[in-house]
Structure 1
Amino acid sequence: MKLYPINAGNFKLDGGAMFGVVPKTLWTRTNPSDNNNMIDIAARCLLIEDSDRLILIDTGMGNKQSDKFFGYYHLWGNNSIDNSLKTHGFHRDDITDVFMTHLHFDHCGGSIQWNADRTGYETAFKNAHFWSNKNHWEWATKPNKREKASFLKENILPMEDSGQLKFTNLPQKDILKNSPLGFDIFFANGHTDKQMIPMIQYKGKTICFMADLLPTVGHLPLPFVMGYDTRPLLSLDEKERFLNLAADHNYYLFLEHDAHNEIITVQHTEKGVRLKDTFKTNDIFN
């Protein structure tokens, strides 16, 4: 097995929204904001090369939305899925599986693109299966009013229309063991219903793709929960349980949204679970 970081692009989000009720004087210590209160955010995806499978975890926003849409998110940098894949010697047509932690637009938008004459949409990975789970699919395709703006039908429905959509099983408890993709999955319901956190066994280490369970290093303190989360008290509980596991077993936490910290480990302290070490992906994957 080999792992590769795939940067689908960088953007900015409102720091207050990213940290909910936490005062700005506290969250700016780890996530400084610009004059518009915006903080740096990454869309750092992960590619797993395992035998004859190439599994891409999440796909970023994509590029099919309007200039007005992207204007809200202040894109920055020159990273893209295609450029990142090319750097590692791959093409999007090589991808066999696209695993979506959840179906918010900044995690799955790159899965779907315009067709050739821009009259409709098609899958951006023509040879891949697209993986979700039935509960989350139902949640996303019949969205509640709070999340409706995050579940864009043009990002979601073409997966089903293409015949490429597949579902994982659901766990008996928190963790699904031996998923169809070869890794364990921790299910979390605070951010959105049945978000999936891959837990990958790699060279004697457990690499956890944190998605929106832990967006950035700044979200390590338990009360630091995003304003976007639909069930913030449940997020707090799920984060506590997962971080305790991570500290107990020395998990390596791959941060999808932290623009400046790629992989971290954590440890128990008198203040709770806190940062232990930070790593570049090359430190762990090579």
Structure 2
Amino acid sequence: MKLYTIETGNFKLDGGAMFGVVPKSIWNKTNPADANNMIDMAARCLLVEDGDRLILIDTGMGNKQSEKFFGYYYMFGDHTLDGSLQKHGFHRDDITDVFMTHLHFDHCGGSIQWNKDRTGYEPAFKNARFWTNKDHWQWAIKPNPREKASFLKENILPMEESGQLNFITNPTGDFLENSELGFDILFADGHTDKQMLPHFNYQGKTLVFAADLLPTVGHIPLPYVMGYDTRPLLTMDEKATFLNKAVENEYYILLEHDAHNEICTVKHTERGVRLKDIYTFEEIFN
């Protein structure tokens, strides 16, 4: 069994939206903004090679949206999903499973692509099963007004129409039955309903894919909650529980959205849980 980070592309988001009520004079120290108040973001995914299974955790934005759409996000850099897979010796047709932490466009957009004549959509991973959970699926296909712009039907409905959609009910049962991979899921509801954060026991360490519970190292202090979160007070409680466990259990936290920091650890301080160390994936796992 082996894990690989997959970089699908960098983009920018409004720093104020990413830090909610926290003043720019504070968050700008850890996540410096450009002249347009935009901060650097990553769409970092995780590839799990487990026997005859090749599991991709999240898929980034994809490339099927309009030029106008991508113009809002100031894409930059050379990373692509296909290029990152190729770097590790894989092709998208090798993927057997796509695990989606949640169905916001920057996490699942790469799961669906245009068909050949651009008259409709099809799975971008033709040999894969797509995994979410029933509660989050219902939340996504009947979106509330706050999240409607993040749940794009062209990213979501083709999964069901293709017959490749599956629901996780037992993480070590229906999803990873007969696997030797130490695996568990933390469900979190503050950002969006029933977001799934996978935990892996790998090379004697616990790696947690933080998704949007902890987007960047700048979000470690409890009040630093995204303006995008539907239940910010719940996010604070969930983050407090998670970060305390991360200290106690020496978690290595893989940051999906931090363009400059790949993995972090945390520690207890007089001010609460704070950043301990930053690593690249290769420094920890090789």
TM-score class, shorter: over 0.9
Aligned equivalent of 1:180, options 149, 152, 175: 175
What secondary structure does 1:237 align onto? helix
1:31-110 matches, within 5 Å, as 31-110=31-110
> What's 2:253 paired with?
253
1:179 shift after superposition:
6.5
Measured in 1, the distance between the counterparts of 2:229 and 2:143 equals 14
Is the partner of 1:48 in helix, strand or coil? strand
1:80-229 matches, within 5 Å, as 80-169=80-169, 180-181=175-176, 182=181, 183-229=183-229
Stretches of 4+ moved more than 4 A in 1?
A: 176-179
Q: For residue 168 of structure 1, report the CA deviation from its aligned partner.
A: 0.6
How many residues align? The count is 281
Q: What is the TM-score of this pair, normalised by structure 1?
A: 0.97
Distance, in Å, in 2 between the alignment partners of 1:169 and 1:277 is 35
CA pair 179-269 structure 1, distance change in 2 beyond 3 A: farther
Shift of 1:178: 6.1
Q: Which runs of 5+ in 1 are unaligned?
A: 171-175
Q: Please report how far the alpha carbon of residue 285 of structure 1 lies from its aligned counterpart in structure 2 after TM superposition.
A: 2.2
RMSD: 1.0
Task: List per-residue Cα deviations over 1:68-92 (Å, max 9, x = no partner).
Answer: 0000000000110100000000000
| Secondary structure, aligned partner of 1:160 | helix
Task: Summarize the Cα distance change of 1:17–1:235 in structure 2 as closer, same or farther, 3 Å threshold.
Answer: same
- Alpha-carbon distance between aligned partners in 1 of 2:106 and 2:173, rounded to the nearest angstrom: 27
Task: Quote the Cα distance in structure 2 between the aligned partners of 1:199 and 1:5.
Answer: 15
The answer (yes or no) to whether the contact 1:56–1:99 under 8 Å persists in 2 is: yes
CA contact (8 A) 1:191 1:213 kept: yes
Structure 2 match to 1:264: 264
**Sequence identity, in percent?**
74
Report the Cα distance in structure 2 between the residues aligned to 1:283 and 1:119, rounded to whole angstroms: 45
Cα deviations across residues 209-264 of structure 1 (Å, max 9, x unaligned)? 00000000000000000000000000000000000000001000000000000001
1:14 matched to which residue of 2?
14
Which residue identity lines up with residue 139 of structure 1 in the other structure?
W
Is the contact between residue 13 and residue 40 of structure 1 (CA under 8 Å) also seen in structure 2?
yes
Partner amino acid, structure 1, of 2:260:
H
TM-score of the pair, normalised by structure 2: 0.97
User: What code does the residue aligned with 1:143 have?
Assistant: P
The aligned amino acid for 2:47 is L
Alpha-carbon distance between aligned partners in 1 of 2:45 and 2:243, rounded to the nearest angstrom = 21
